[in-house]
Amino acid sequence: MNTAVDRINALARRVPVWSVWLILGIPAVWTFYLGLTGGLGAEPIKALERKLGEVALQLVILGLCLSPLRRHLGVNLIRFRRAVGLLAFTYVSLHLLVWLVLDVQIWAQIWADILKRPYVTVGFTAFLMMIPLALTSNDLSLRRLGPRWRVLHRLTYVVAVLGAVHFIWLSKGFQIEPLVYLAVILALLALRLRYARRRRSA
Ligand code: HEM
C-alpha cells in the first residue's frame, strides 16, 4: 500500500537538489532586495544581519532533523542534507560579512568585539567550526575521511548549540524564540545520544 511516507519519498526523489538551493536561497535575495529598497525599517543593516543569522540557525537545525526523520519516521530527505548544510554556511558567511562590512566596519573594533563581547565570541567560534564542515561536504572528503567524516560532522550539534547560545546571549530581556531553538536542538541531541546508546548495547 502506498503510504503518505512512500509518497513523500517518491516525490523527494524527483525533486532536483538545485531546487533546494533556489528555494532556500530566496530569503537571502528577498532580504537584500528589501534592504536596498527601504523595506527593512529604520535599521536596515541590523534587520538584514538578524534575518541572515536567524535563517542560518534554522538551516543548521533543519540539517540536524534529516537523519532522525529518516530513522524514526522513514521520511528520506537525506540527499538534500549537503545542500542544507552548505546553505547554512552561506547564510552564516553573509551574516558575518554584513556585520564586518556594513555594521562594524572598523578592523580594530571587529577584533575587540570578537574578544570582548561574549555573544560575538560564541558566534565566531560557531562560524570557525563550520569551516571544516563546509570544506568536507563533498564526495572526495567523504571517501578520504571514511569513518572519521561522521565523527567530524558531529560538530554540527556543537555549532547548533553555540548558535542558539549566541542568540540567547544577544537577546535583550526574556525572549521565548531563542529558547525554543535551544530546546529543539537539545531534543535532537538527546534523540541522537539515545540512538547511539541503543546501537552500542544491541
Ligand atoms: C561569524 C560570527 C558571528 C558574528 C560576528 C555574529 C554577529 C551577530 C550580530 C551582531 C547579531 C545582531 C545583534 C543585534 O541584534 O544587535 C547577530 C544576530 C544573530 N545571529 Fe549571529 N553572529 C555570528 C555567527 C552566528 C552563527 C554561527 C549563527 C547561527 C548558526 C548566528 C545566528 C544569529 C541569530 C539567530 C541572530 C539573531 C537573529 C534575530 O534577532 O532574529 N550567528 N549575530
pLDDT in 10s for each residue of the chain, 202 residues:
569 999 999 999 999 999 999 999 999 999 999 999 999 999 999 999 999 999 999 999 999 999 999 999 999 999 999 999 999 999 999 999 999 999 999 999 999 999 999 999 999 999 999 999 999 999 999 999 999 999 999 999 999 999 999 999 999 999 999 999 999 999 999 999 999 999 888 7
Q: Mutation test of ligand 1: which of 106, 166, 176, 179 has the most ligand atoms closer than 8 Å to its C-beta?
A: 166
pTM: 0.95
Cβ neighbours, 10 Å, residue 111: 11
Rounded to an integer, what distance in angstroms lies between the CA atom of residue 145 and that of residue 2?
Answer: 38
Q: Which domain holds residue 125?
A: 4-201
Q: Check pocket membership of 127 for ligand 1, CB cut-off 6 A.
A: yes
Q: Check pocket membership of 166 for ligand 1, CB cut-off 6 A.
A: yes
Under a CB-based contact definition with an 8 Å cutoff, are residues 190 and 201 in contact?
Answer: no
| CA 57 to centroid of ligand 1, rounded, Å | 9
Cβ neighbours, 10 Å, residue 25: 14
Q: Residue 115: what residue type?
A: L
How many structural domains comprise the chain?
Answer: 1
Q: Mutation test of ligand 1: which of 60, 121, 167, 185 has the most ligand atoms closer than 8 Å to its C-beta?
A: 167
Percent residues over pLDDT 90 in the chain:
97
Residue 15 DSSP SS3? coil
CA angle 105, 106, 107 (to 5 degrees): 115
Burial class (CB in 10 A: 0-12, 13-18, 19+), 109: exposed
The label of the residue with cell 537539545 reads 186
Rounded to an integer, what distance in angstroms lies between the CA atom of residue 179 and that of residue 185?
Answer: 10
Q: What is the residue with the minimal CA distance to atom 1 of ligand 1?
A: 124
Under a CB-based contact definition with an 8 Å cutoff, are residues 100 and 110 in contact?
Answer: yes
Q: What is the residue with the minimal CA distance to atom 2 of ligand 1?
A: 124
Q: 143-180: per-residue pLDDT in tens? A: 999 999 999 999 999 999 999 999 999 999 999 999 99
Question: What's the Cα-to-Cα distance from 198 to each of 28, 39, 55, 167, 193, rounded to whole Å?
Answer: 40, 51, 33, 33, 9
H-only helix segments in 44-175: 44-68, 81-97, 107-116, 118-135, 139-145, 147-153, 155-170
Burial class (CB in 10 A: 0-12, 13-18, 19+), 29: exposed
The label of the residue with cell 570557525 reads 128
Q: Check pocket membership of 80 for ligand 1, CB cut-off 6 A.
A: no
For residue 177, the ligand 1 atom closest to its alpha carbon is: 41
For residue 114, the ligand 1 atom closest to its alpha carbon is: 5
Rounded to an integer, what distance in angstroms lies between the CA atom of residue 68 and that of residue 54?
Answer: 22
